[in-house]
Amino acid sequence: MHREAAVTAMAYFYKNPLINQETKLGCNIGRIEKIYQDIGDRRQLRKLIEDCQNEKPDCLMVSSLASLGDNLEEVEGIITHLESLGVEIIAANEGYKTSDFKVVDTPTKRNKLREIWKQIEKELQRRKLILSHAIRKMETLPPPGRAPFGYIRGNKGYMIDPVNAPIIREFFRVFLLSGSLRRSVKYLEEKYQKKISPSTAKNWLKNPVYRGDLLYNKNTIVSDTHPPIITRQESAQIERLLRNNKKFAPKSVSSKHCLAGLLKCKSCQCPLRVNPVSNKTKGYSYLYLTPTNCPKNKPCKSLSYNSVLTRLIETICNLFEAIKETETERDKIEETRNIEREEIKKIKEKLEVIRRLEDEGVLEEEEAKKITYRLREKMSKMQQKINQMPPNTLGVIAKNLSNPQLWHDLSNSERRFYLREFIDTIEVNMGENHDDKLELNLVFANPQIGNSWQNKLNKQE
């Protein structure tokens, strides 16, 4: 019985080491006799052409025709040359086969061929843009475009703008003091006549560029690429404030009252709103708390704001006394923090070694850039992990915050910062008739604090 000869094929793959890309043939024709693969340069492509001149294969398979060159002229030249040798080219991405276009005698074929060339051109442009960004990223250069407010472009990256940097420093300072986006925006407008939208202000607060880092492709951060405008400690505090503010309504976030947005009635589960009352004739003013939209026939009563605040300070001081007694959880957090810091220190030492090896000519410039980029990216992830941990050690904070007098000495904005740092919700059990019967149920933002407080309550029982 006569058996047909198997179709033999060659395959060619191209990959630029700076671009993450998958190359798949997407088709299967017989047995692939030989695979040619280039990483960076085109040596194997030249070898493939030489081999085709000596011994023509049945077909050459590529994932995309764009992989045959770095520009449209190169791609067209290679395709023309290979097809003149009688090589059937099959490209998976474009759905191209040489035999389908040997004779282009219909409008359908002409349109199809025109679309294929447009697709190739688009892919080459896309690859060029990605490569440009990848080179800038590897060299830790800023992305194209205007420098962020507070910076100017220098030869090797961003430099601090002596005119605008003080303005944005003030913006960060006011936000750290007030915790309010609106107040920070208003302050800039009043003092510097600098008008910005809340969305711009939020972008400033989140932008890694002001920490001295660069953001690439919306997901990769490289550390220490230029001078920072805010410190790492301020950055961590801003991130915690933004995270805590997500839980509150905009009015509660900017409220000057430290309990705004934290309280709810245990009985009806409605939030408690802070209401100010003043009598100019009698010359007094006070604050009280009222449940919003209480569903009961007889609505839950209002409470004195100061009574709740006094009881809360008393409860919190007991809480931090409990934390002072709890060492295990605290030690675990500090141990993790120290491990991350030690790793960052080691990475910085490696970066110094790489610079020295490059200066001495032991390491090639391109290789040094690749290693430096990978290490800086790793360092950024570790720094982000540290920023998400509770501030300092809770033991140090607990020592101070277990003192009732300190709470009374703090400003409203300082009290608000500490309360929102550690507490998600305060449930107020109003008792039967009097404020002195009220009980507070604390729901904690930090599991460590919650465990410490629960352990103390269990001991009391």
Dist CA 275 CA 267 (whole Å): 20
Domain for residue 252, yes or no?
no
279 and 408 part of one domain: yes
Contact 290, 271 (CB under 8 A): no
Are 282 and 412 members of one domain?
yes
Both 311 and 434 in a single domain? yes
| Contact yes or no for 149/164 (Cβ under 8 A) | yes
Is 316 a member of any domain?
A: yes
Domain contains 253: no
Count up the domains in the chain and report the number.
4
Note if the pTM is more than 0.75: no
- SS3 of residue 156 by DSSP: coil
Q: How far is CA 449 from the centre of its chain?
A: 27
Assigned domain for 307 exists: yes
Residues of the chain with pLDDT under 70: 1-7, 20-31, 280-283, 322-331, 390-398, 430-461
pLDDT at 436: 46
The CATH number of residue 115's host domain is: 3.40.50.1390
Query: What residues contact 278, with CB distance under 8 A and at least 6 apart?
Result: 284, 285, 286
Q: Which residues neighbour 323 within 8 Å (Cβ) at sequence distance 6 or greater?
A: 330, 394, 395, 398, 402, 448, 449, 452, 453
Residue 41 lies in a domain: yes
Q: Is 144 inside a domain boundary? A: no
pLDDT of residue 4: 45
Looking at residue 396, what is its pLDDT?
64
- Alpha carbon distance 169, 400 (integer Å): 28
Q: Is residue 146 part of a domain?
A: no
- pLDDT score for 2: 42
Choose the final residue of a domain: 246, 280, 306: 246
Residues 403 and 282 in one domain: yes
Amino acid code (one letter) for 41? D
Does 3 fall in a domain?
no
Residues 38 and 168 in one domain: no
CA separation for the pair 365, 417 (Å, rounded): 47
Q: Would you tell me how many other CB atoms lie within 10 Å of the CB of residue 171?
A: 26
Rounded to a whole number, what is the largest CA-CA distance in the chain? 116
> Are residues 169 and 102 both part of a single domain?
no
Question: Rounded to the nearest 5°, which phi and psi values hold at 94?
Answer: -90, -10
The rounded distance, in Å, linking the Cα atoms of 241 and 414 is 12
User: Rounded to whole angstroms, how far apart are CA atoms 39 and 33?
Assistant: 20
Which CATH number goes with the domain that contains 219? Answer: 3.90.1750.20
Residues 401 and 422 in one domain: yes
φ, ψ at 439 (rounded to 5°):
-120, 150
Q: Are residues 91 and 62 in the same domain?
A: yes
Using one digit for the tens of pLDDT, what is the confidence trace for 270-310?
888 888 887 766 667 788 888 888 888 888 888 888 888 88
Residues 83 and 28 in one domain: yes
Provide the sign of the torsion angle of the four alpha carbons 51, 53, 57, 60, taken in this order: positive
Are 68 and 197 part of one and the same domain?
no
Q: Are 23 and 15 in contact (CB under 8 A)?
A: yes
Instruction: Tell me, yes or no, whether 309 and 398 share the same domain.
Output: yes
Letter for the amino acid at 185? V
**Planar angle of CA 317, 318, 321, nearest 5 degrees:** 90
376 and 318 housed in the same domain = no
Separation of alpha carbons 77 and 386, rounded Å: 54
Taking only the tens place, the pLDDT of each residue in 95-125 is: 899 888 888 788 888 899 899 999 999 999 9
What is the extent of the structural domain holding 381?
A: 332-385
